[in-house]
Amino acid sequence: MGLHARRACSLLLLLQVLAKPAQNSDFYLSGDYLLGGLFTLHANVKSTTHISSLHVPKCEEYEMKVLGYNLMQAMRFAVEEINNQSDLLPGVQLGYEMVDVCYISNNIQPVLYFLARNDYFLPIQDDYSHYVPRVVAVIGPDNSESTITVANFLSLFLLPQITYSAISDQLRDKVRFPAMLRTVPSANHHVEAMVQLMIYFRWNWIAVLISADDYGRDNSQVLSNRLARSEICIAFQEVLPTPEPNQPPTPEERERLGIILQKLRQSSARVVVIFSPELSLHNFFREVRIWNFSDIVWIASESWAIDPNLHKEMNSSGTFLGLTIQSVSIPGFSSFRVRRSQNQPPPLNRTTCNQDCDNCLNTTVAYNTVLTQSGERVVFSVYAAVYAVAHALHSFLRCNQNGCKKDVVYPWQLLKKLWNVNFTLQGQQIFFDPQGDVPMRLDIVHWQWGTSQNPFLTVASYYPMQRQLRVIRNVSWNTPGNMIPLSMCSKSCRPGQKKKAVGMHPCCFECIDCLPGTFHNQTAEEFDCQPCPVHTWSHQNDTSCFLRRLIFLEWHEAPTICVVLLAALGFLSTLAILVVFWRHFQTPMVRSAGGPMCFLMLALLLLAFAMVPVYVGPPTGFTCLCRQALFTLCFTVCTACITVRSFQIVCIFKVARHLPRAYRYWVRYHGPYVFVVLPTVLKLIIVLANAVATTTNPTYRSDPEDPTVLILSCHPNYRMALLCNASLDLLLSLAGFTFAFMGKELPTNYNEAKFITLSMTFSFTSTVSLCTFMSVYEGVLVTIMDVLVTVLNLLAISLGYFGPKCYLILFFPERNTPSYFNSVIQGYTMRKD
Ligand SMILES: *[C@@H]1O[C@H](CO)[C@@H](O)[C@H](O)[C@H]1NC(C)=O
Ligand SMILES: *[C@@H]1O[C@H](CO)[C@@H](O)[C@H](O)[C@H]1NC(C)=O
Ligand SMILES: *[C@@H]1O[C@H](CO)[C@@H](O)[C@H](O)[C@H]1NC(C)=O
Ligand SMILES: *[C@@H]1O[C@H](CO)[C@@H](O)[C@H](O)[C@H]1NC(C)=O
Ligand SMILES: *[C@@H]1O[C@H](CO)[C@@H](O)[C@H](O)[C@H]1NC(C)=O
Ligand SMILES: *[C@@H]1O[C@H](CO)[C@@H](O)[C@H](O)[C@H]1NC(C)=O
């Protein structure tokens, strides 16, 4: 503290030149306890000339700031009202002393003045706990930069300070600024309200313009920190040029503004957030008007959200939404604002104290209508700040109905009381939260330019305690059809599309259709389509998957009808053959064809033809077993029968002649039947083992040509078994073929070599080609091919083997006699010998 105090000491000289305050002027009211007030009645942009010299500026040379005077009047009004009241501080006269800080150029001098004793000296002490400065508390100043400067001084003395509009988050640091309180929510609430507003209107692509000072930098930092946790991106951020004081824009400044506006024109961001004191914005908006921007939504930070000057200049160049503190009506204030003091103060030495504003009242009168229509927003913050000090004093002085103990007030004692105030003012509960802020509601105001309406119409409200924005009124946009302006880098994707990031912003993306077989749901990952679950499929752009259509052979399909007709034909012809054979059972033709064994074959063939419909319809375990086992078994039995027949014809005589014992066994033990049963049993074992090893339950396969369907088929592994089966059949066929070939010189009656060869070759090649086909193709055609090959194989046996014999029986009955057979055999034997 010593160091700071010494620094303060060096400024004492300066204090000496401050003039004595004017009695009963706008700026001074004597009283038992004085409140210091810091307001901006005149403002000029910050320029180096103001801060480079220890010289108190002449504020009157600057532009007058109507809002600042309005706020100063609020403080005067509050003090007067408290003095008029009998229940708050009865018998105590509050006074005030106010100084124009001229925005930021004049805040050190007034602070030292407030801290000094009545004799203008600020003594250097080790311990200021019993030091009584001129004022008991300071209200203001308005902007964060000045407030931080002032707070640095006041916090050393623990002199209570309540600002009414500085929102900087730095001021939340109560270690640095223990004496600093405020009646506005801090910047993070302002930013939160803005972000929630953007989310509400679905703007996610915004531009940010900031002033080249702490206000712009700090708040844009808070904004970008907040946006990092949201889906809103900053298209670009630019620093507005600082204008020269009291001068028209320089060419450099205009060029700079031109670059910014060009950028804005080229960007798809239609929402612009501006964090800047209103001083830097006049030139900017003048340029905006020239550029004819009418589709932009400007979001005003609290520094310019309700500025009547800017409002007057900007007649509808886009939509203006401002963020400001809630409006609370203060009865009697609007007439007080323009009340002239009855007793004009005597002419005074007004040189450097900046307690002078001759034209303030007259200018304010000119703005009175718009100020009255706007309602009391920041005004209420000032009003509440004064009342907070009054309540703290009331409590400190232990006031009751009769009066107060007019003790000496040490600032730190008052500060303690101030932290604990909790009172109702015009219906608002006023208390300080742990950061020293009053959690006042924030409003989003919409700028209007009608004659008789509120120029700053509230359209939404933000509640700091709940951190929640509630929209209460529709905004009339400056757009055709009153559409909410779009401000997006990329339009949101249609359902069923995924995002593909473009550049580094998550808000910029392309929309890509999800491929068939994948889907995209809003709830899921945005940048990827998810694959469909098994047994389902999707079309391009789908948001969900559908079950695939099941495919199997159906009755009404042409291939089915053909195959079934073929099978019916086979069944009927086999039946006819059976009848013919039955009728001519005892004839040599039938007996040479195998006798009773023919009926076994024909019966099996009939059964097989009758079972062909198991290929039609959705496969089940049973039909799959039939498909895999029945036909091949039937085929094997037939092949075995034919083989044994050929064997008997060709070799039995030789066996009888050379191996009579074997021949006797063959006859006694029904050799042919044993020969047939052996491969049948072997085949049965193979098919059953296969059925057990894989499964006979139907399986689903996707069709490579049409992914929307699913082929319901028997287990595809059965083609392995098919090959295995076929090799057994092949062996049998080869044996049959060999015997038939050996007997090729036999009389035609016995010579079936060519028919057997034909049917065997046919069945073998068809099986092999079926297996080949199945290994390269998986579609539903497989089932058709399978059934077709089966039917053709059966037909080959039925017609190829029995057909010619039947033909002979029916059309050459003379050849079907034992005598004819005998003669043929005799002829054969004679030729052979
Ligand atoms: C205070 O009381 C005086 C005298 O009755 C009155 O003229 C003045 O308007 C009052 N001020 C306020 C702010 O109520
Ligand atoms: C703005 O509009 C006016 C009249 O419509 C036109 O003369 C002027 O060139 C426009 N300015 C720009 C920058 O487009
Ligand atoms: C005005 O100030 C001058 C010097 O700055 C001083 O001589 C004069 O007495 C002052 N007048 C009044 C009325 O205070
Ligand atoms: C303010 O207006 C009043 C009445 O209109 C006038 O008498 C006075 O001279 C004006 N004051 C200034 C400083 O212009
Ligand atoms: C302020 O007072 C009200 C009612 O008297 C009470 O409900 C509220 O909790 C108090 N707030 C604080 C922060 O003490
Ligand atoms: C997509 O999301 C909706 C809603 O959350 C849900 O009902 C639907 O089942 C989802 N679709 C898929 C395929 O998950």
Beta carbons of 311 and 370 less than 8 angstroms apart:
yes
Higher pLDDT, 747 or 783: 783
Confidence grade of residue 14 (pLDDT, cut at 50, 70, 90):
very low
**Residue-level pLDDT at 410:** 94
The per-residue pLDDT for 13 is 40
Distance CA 201, CA 90 (A): 51
Residue 18 confidence (pLDDT) above 70: no
Nearest CA to ligand 1 atom 2: 84
Q: Of the segments 174-178, 682-686, 808-812, which one has the largest average pLDDT value?
A: 174-178
Ligand 3 centroid to Cα of residue 349, in Å, is 6
Question: What's the average model confidence in pLDDT over 401-413?
Answer: 92
Please state the rounded mean pLDDT for residues 192-214.
93
Closest ligand by atom to 428 CA = 5
**536 CA from centroid of ligand 6 (Å):** 14
Residues 6 or more apart in contact with residue 747 via CB below 8 angstroms:
824, 825, 827, 828
Give the pLDDT band of residue 188 (cuts 50, 70, 90): very high
Q: Where do runs of H (alpha helix) occur along 292-359?
A: 308-313, 333-337
- Ligand 5 mean position to 375 CA, how many Å? 27
pLDDT of residue 193 exceeding 70: yes
629, pLDDT greater than 60: yes
Nearest-CA residue for atom 11 of ligand 6: 544
Q: Does ligand 6 have an atom closer than 6 angstroms to the CB of 521?
A: yes
Which position has the higher pLDDT, 528 or 441? 441
> In angstroms, what is the span from residue 69 Cα to ligand 1's centroid?
20
Confidence of residue 51 (pLDDT cuts 50, 70, 90): low
pLDDT at 284: 92
pTM: 0.70
**Residue nearest atom 4 in ligand 2 by C-alpha distance:** 292
C-beta of 422 in contact with ligand 5 (< 6 A) = yes
> Given the CA of residue 519, which atom of ligand 6 is nearest to it?
13
Confidence of residue 382 (pLDDT cuts 50, 70, 90): very high
Residue 763: closest CA among 632, 624, 641, 605: 632
What pLDDT, in 10s, does the model give residues 104-131? 878 888 898 899 887 778 888 888 899 9
Encoded tokens for 435 = 């950061």
For residue 783, report the distance from its CA to the centre of ligand 3, in Å. Answer: 118
- CA 88 – ligand 1 centroid, Å: 15
CB of 431 sitting under 6 A from ligand 5: yes
Phi, psi of 234 (to 5 degrees): -95, 115
**Which residues make Cβ contacts (< 8 Å) with residue 59, sequence separation at least 6?**
41, 42, 100, 102, 105, 106, 354, 356
- Mean pLDDT for the stretch of residues 714-734: 71
Q: What's the pLDDT at 386?
A: 97
Atom nearest to 359 CA in ligand 4: 13
CA distance from start to end of the chain? 145
Q: What is the pLDDT of residue 699?
A: 78
Q: How far does residue 345's CA lie from ligand 4's centre (Å)?
A: 15
Instruction: Give residue 239's pLDDT band: very low, low, confident or very high (50, 70, 90).
Output: very high
Residue 1: predicted pLDDT: 41
Question: Strand, coil or helix: what is 804?
Answer: helix
* CATH number assigned to the domain with residue range 2-185+339-431, chosen from the 4 options 3.60.150.10, 3.40.50.2300, 1.10.3720.10, 3.30.420.10: 3.40.50.2300
Peptide linkage before 123 cis (omega within 30 of 0) = no
Q: Residues with Cβ within 6 A of ligand 2? A: 290-292
Q: Is 519 in the pocket of ligand 6 (CB under 6 A)?
A: yes
d(CA 594, CA 647) in angstroms, rounded, equals 11
Of the pLDDT bands very low, low, confident and very high (cuts 50, 70, 90), residue 165 is very high
On the question of a common fold for 2-185+339-431 and 558-832, the answer reads no
Give distance in angstroms: CA of 488 to centre of ligand 2: 26
The string of pLDDT tens digits covering residues 599-619 is 888 888 888 888 888 888 888
**Cα 541 to ligand 6 centre (Å):** 14
User: Quick check: 758 pLDDT over 90?
Assistant: no
pLDDT at 745: 65
**pLDDT(789) > 60:** yes
Question: What is the position in ligand 2's atom list of the atom closest to the CA of 291?
Answer: 13
Least confident of 417-426, 645-654, 779-788: 645-654
Place of tokens 């509808």: 316
> Would you say the CB of residue 544 lies under 6 angstroms from ligand 6?
yes
587: which 2 tokens? 């004839």
- The class (CATH top level) of 188-326+442-482 is alpha beta
Order of strands across the sheet that contains 456-463: 233-240, 205-211, 271-275, 297-300, 319-325, 442-447, 456-463, 468-471
Confidence of residue 752 (pLDDT cuts 50, 70, 90): low
Position 275 scores a pLDDT of 96
Q: Tell me what percent of the residues of the chain surpass a pLDDT of 90.
A: 34
Question: Cα 341 to the chain's mean position, in Å?
Answer: 62
Domain spans in the chain, listed from the N-terminal domain onward? 2-185+339-431, 188-326+442-482, 511-547, 558-832
The reply to whether ligand 4 has any atom less than 6 angstroms from the CB of 359 is: yes
**Ligand minimally distant from the alpha carbon of residue 317:** 2
Inform me whether the pLDDT recorded for 833 exceeds 60.
Answer: no
Average pLDDT on 565-588 reads 87
Nearest CA to ligand 4 atom 12: 359
Residue 7 pLDDT > 50:
no
Give 137's DSSP letter.
Answer: E
pLDDT at 15: 47
Q: For residue range 479-533, what is the model confidence (pLDDT) as tens digits? A: 888 888 988 888 888 888 888 888 888 888 888 888 888 888 776 577 888 888 8
In this prediction, residue 429 has a pLDDT band, given cuts at 50, 70 and 90, of very high
The fold for domain 558-832 equals Rhopdopsin 7-helix transmembrane proteins (1.20.1070)
Distance CA 110, CA 146 (A): 12
